[in-house]
Homo-oligomer: A and B are copies of this chain.
Amino acid sequence: MKNYIIKDEWNIIEEGFDPHLNKISESLFSLGNGRMGQRANFEETYTGESLQGNYIAGVYYPDKTRVGWWKNGYPEYFAKVLNAANWMGLRIRIEGEELDLAKTEVLAFTRNLNMHEGYLKRDFTARLKSGRELQVTATRFYSIADDEAAAMQYSIRPLNFSGTFSIESFIDGDVSNQDSNYDEKFWEEVSSDAQGAEAYLTLRTRKTAFEVCTGTATRLFKNGTPVTEASEPIKRTKYTGLVHHVSAGTDETLTILKFAANLSSENHGKDELETRCREVISQISAKGFDQMKAEQAQAWKERWAESDIIIEGDVSAQQAIRFNIFQLFQTYTGKDSRLNIGPKGFTGEKYGGSTYWDTEAYCVPFFLATAPQEVSRNLLIYRYNHLEKAIENAAKLGFKDGAALYPMVTINGEECHNEWEITFEEIHRNGAIAYAIYNYVRYTGDRGYLASHGLEVLIGISRFWAQRVNWSEARQQYVMLGLTGPNEYENNVNNNWYTNTIATWCLRYTLDVMEQLKSEEPARFEALLAKLAFRQEEVTHWKNIIEKMFYPEDARLGIFLQQDGYLDKEQVLAADLPASERPINQKWSWDRILRSCLIKQADVLQGLYFFEDDYDVETIRRNFDFYEPRTVHESSLSPCVHSILAAKLNDEARAYEFYLRTARLDLDDYNNDTEDGLHITSMAGTWMSVVEGFAGMRVRDNKLHFNPFLPANWKSFSFRIGFRGNNLHIRISVEDMLISNLGDSDLEVVIHGRQFQLPANKQLQTALTASA
């Protein structure tokens, strides 16, 4: 837990330079635009502790799997996001003395991530060993308007000396991943060129043969006037740049503008990659830094208009929620269905930049409400396009006849993870993918998606469940053995209630959708069944499973059992753990964790969150009261679900308490791991805590429902959402709830169970609490 970020409604601010915090700040101040991103590494040389990170979406390397003991079924490769060329490099020397904050006295230092306008700014004053003092201001951003481009402005002012500066502006592609399994470098050089102001470096990934051309144009100014001295090109393997020599004194400012583009062969032909890159560089350098920066501000303004949450009376919470929203949009823009959301986005290597069930369970709801429908649709299409691979993945484990098991971790549709208890057993992810389809259709009303894509995925998933269960002669029921639920502090359990529940839910939902399509679009439906070689016996089998599935529960306690035998465990409560033993995932042996009743993250409660309408409130309460005290919340995905459920159970204090644990998770380095990168996917959970928790928003029967409350120390909170073509502004304050329909069509909304008309371009004001 740290507390060094200065509270501000729109900015993330660090004052003073502490090298021990540098890797944390590198994560927090990360930049991205959905196509690419980077950690907040310094432009100039820094030899202190740093995790260098520049990432290009969709460009990965299949690193050969390394395990201690191989198990049949493990994937041979772990596709991981690549550390790519560093385009912003500057090497600044004054008569041989290099600027390097690790070897320099830092007299003043400020870092500012301006979330309103989408740029990072750093100001510092440094005294070199020689006594030379200089002042630097560096501003940079990844453009949303020109999404293959980035730009930076780097100004240097000598404070107490005159001298000749040697400024090397370079692109360095000789980079490696810290998580490389065999200490290999993943890039090979295709070509490089540096002349005049421009430098180009094209690299190819080994094995996957992705090519990325990185181009830069560097312009040097003294007091605003272009410096005309010719630069010298520099060339090493996978490294290219230009050196400028220029003198400056105390009344002068040197300004370096660097325009950069990263073009990937995913989006351009390899033979035209450099040509296109030169075009982009030409366009953006013609446009200029100020114009690009203005367009960036405008783009962010539009984003915020769709998605901002405003909290009055709590700057810390305000900063946190905006930080979460900002980072989510930096990571994923939804323009490209080949891309997805890695748990760390573009902010670190951990988790390989790959897709987890986090996307479906946490990110889809966020993007449904805050971005155009196409954005969440593209997240679904991503999985649709991976269906064939999911079928292959299931086949590797012995499943057949079109059964699909989506990977636990993937970039390209192939499984990447290799712990048997996760890879083979944490199969509830398949359910989340079906649930996202349901959630998307429920929110958007886009039933056409089911016929065009959704049902095919649902059938693949249902076929998997139908083969994964088995009939227990002993119980005369279907059971599901060998599972790891969302609570990964249990492995290889039988009849995980959540997994059994979501499995039969998938079967039911698939049958429902089939029924509907059969009557609505019979020809298309029959064609699909023929394509999938669907047999009528499958329906019979599925119905049989639905009817005869076993769900563990304890009648005496009135709760669902997380799994068979859960009550055989020694029942202890998280609150009784001494602080010295927490987090248990660092303090306890794995064996002790597995045998303990303590829970990592919502498991039964995840199911009650997803399927809340299938259970009465008292059932949810009994389960919440039983499981939450046994939960250590050691996953970043845990608190939000508990916050939403607590809100539903009208436990406002606890709802707010859980919200606090998710909202500033990274800003305050709650889990002591922010330096590895940000918890991007759990940030969507923070948004859910506010909108589904505090505002109690749900979609039922094609209508928005709200059950709002205002956290005790807030004056108000308000948020924007899109819903079926309309844009709504919702404000919940001490006095009342205001819903403004900014769109052009009428809506019905339900507040505390009461139905209201909300005409186009009108506002609705209601009391905050339900009338008795």
Could you list which residues of chain A lie within 8 angstroms of chain B, going by C-beta atoms? Answer: 65-69, 71-73, 396-398, 418-421, 424-425, 470-475, 479, 481-482, 491-494, 554, 564-565, 567-571, 585-595
Instruction: Report yes or no: B494 in contact with A565, Cβ–Cβ below 8 A.
Output: yes
Task: Please give me the residue from chain B that is nearest to A396 by CB atom.
Answer: B589
Instruction: Report yes or no: B595 in contact with A68, Cβ–Cβ below 8 A.
Output: no
Instruction: Report yes or no: A424 in contact with B590, Cβ–Cβ below 8 A.
Output: yes
What are the residues of chain B within 8 A of A494 when measuring CB–CB?
565, 568
CA distance A68 to B352 in the complex (A): 13
Task: Please give me the residue from chain B that is nearest to A592 by CB atom.
Answer: B398
What are the residues of chain B within 8 A of A491 when measuring CB–CB?
492
* Partner among B68, B418, B471 whose Cβ is within 8 Å of the Cβ of A65: B68
What are the residues of chain B within 8 A of A594 when measuring CB–CB?
420, 424, 481-482, 492
Q: A591 to nearest B CB, angstroms?
A: 3
Q: A676 to nearest B CB, angstroms?
A: 14
A420-B590 CB under 8 A given contacts A565-B564, A568-B475: yes
What are the residues of chain B within 8 A of A565 when measuring CB–CB?
481, 494, 564-565
Instruction: Report yes or no: B588 in contact with A72, Cβ–Cβ below 8 A.
Output: yes
Q: A302 to nearest B CB, angstroms?
A: 42
CA distance A482 to B567 in the complex (A): 14
What are the residues of chain B within 8 A of A493 when measuring CB–CB?
492
CA distance A758 to B352 in the complex (A): 74
Task: Please give me the residue from chain B that is nearest to A65 by CB atom.
Answer: B68
Instruction: Report yes or no: A398 in contact with B474, Cβ–Cβ below 8 A.
Output: no
CA distance A587 to B73 in the complex (A): 10
Task: Please give me the residue from chain B that is nearest to A475 by CB atom.
Answer: B568
CA distance A421 to B591 in the complex (A): 8
Task: Please give me the residue from chain B that is nearest to A425 by CB atom.
Answer: B591
CA distance A594 to B472 in the complex (A): 16
Closest 5 A-B residue pairs measured CB to CB?
Answer: A424-B591, A73-B589, A71-B590, A474-B567, A67-B68
| Further contacts, 17 of them, CB under 8 A, given A71-B590, A72-B589 | A68-B418, A72-B590, A73-B591, A397-B592, A424-B590, A425-B591, A470-B568, A470-B570, A472-B568, A474-B568, A479-B568, A482-B591, A482-B594, A482-B595, A492-B493, A492-B594, A564-B565
CA distance A473 to B554 in the complex (A): 13
Instruction: Report yes or no: A69 in contact with B419, Cβ–Cβ below 8 A.
Output: yes
CA distance A396 to B591 in the complex (A): 11
Instruction: Report yes or no: B68 in contact with A569, Cβ–Cβ below 8 A.
Output: no
What are the residues of chain B within 8 A of A425 when measuring CB–CB?
591
Q: Which of A421, A481, A591 lies at the interface centre, i.e. has the most chain B CB atoms within 10 A of its CB? A: A591
9 contacts between A and B (CB under 8 A): A72-B586, A398-B588, A398-B589, A421-B492, A424-B591, A470-B595, A481-B594, A492-B492, A492-B594
CA distance A481 to B479 in the complex (A): 20
CA distance A425 to B564 in the complex (A): 19
Q: A740 to nearest B CB, angstroms?
A: 49
Instruction: Report yes or no: B397 in contact with A73, Cβ–Cβ below 8 A.
Output: no
Q: A42 to nearest B CB, angstroms?
A: 31
What are the residues of chain B within 8 A of A481 when measuring CB–CB?
565, 568-569, 594-595
What are the residues of chain B within 8 A of A421 when measuring CB–CB?
492
What are the residues of chain B within 8 A of A564 when measuring CB–CB?
564-565
Task: Please give me the residue from chain B that is nearest to A491 by CB atom.
Answer: B492
Task: Please give me the residue from chain B that is nearest to A73 by CB atom.
Answer: B589
What are the residues of chain B within 8 A of A72 when measuring CB–CB?
585-590, 593
CA distance A73 to B593 in the complex (A): 11
Instruction: Report yes or no: B590 in contact with A73, Cβ–Cβ below 8 A.
Output: yes
What are the residues of chain B within 8 A of A590 when measuring CB–CB?
71-73, 420, 424
What are the residues of chain B within 8 A of A419 when measuring CB–CB?
68-69
Task: Please give me the residue from chain B that is nearest to A569 by CB atom.
Answer: B481
Task: Please give me the residue from chain B that is nearest to A554 by CB atom.
Answer: B474
What are the residues of chain B within 8 A of A567 when measuring CB–CB?
472-474
CA distance A190 to B473 in the complex (A): 67
* Partner among B424, B471, B587 whose Cβ is within 8 Å of the Cβ of A570: B471
Instruction: Report yes or no: B470 in contact with A589, Cβ–Cβ below 8 A.
Output: no
What are the residues of chain B within 8 A of A397 when measuring CB–CB?
589, 591-592
CA distance A588 to B424 in the complex (A): 12
Instruction: Report yes or no: A420 in contact with B570, Cβ–Cβ below 8 A.
Output: no
CA distance A419 to B71 in the complex (A): 11
CA distance A593 to B492 in the complex (A): 12
CA distance A680 to B228 in the complex (A): 80
CA distance A473 to B566 in the complex (A): 11
CA distance A482 to B490 in the complex (A): 10
What are the residues of chain B within 8 A of A589 when measuring CB–CB?
71-73, 396-398, 424
What are the residues of chain B within 8 A of A66 when measuring CB–CB?
66, 68
Instruction: Report yes or no: A473 in contact with B571, Cβ–Cβ below 8 A.
Output: yes
CA distance A744 to B291 in the complex (A): 108
CA distance A491 to B494 in the complex (A): 12
CA distance A570 to B569 in the complex (A): 26
What are the residues of chain B within 8 A of A568 when measuring CB–CB?
470, 472, 474-475, 479, 481, 494
Q: A72 to nearest B CB, angstroms?
A: 5
Q: A490 to nearest B CB, angstroms?
A: 9
Q: A584 to nearest B CB, angstroms?
A: 9
CA distance A568 to B477 in the complex (A): 9
CA distance A73 to B589 in the complex (A): 5
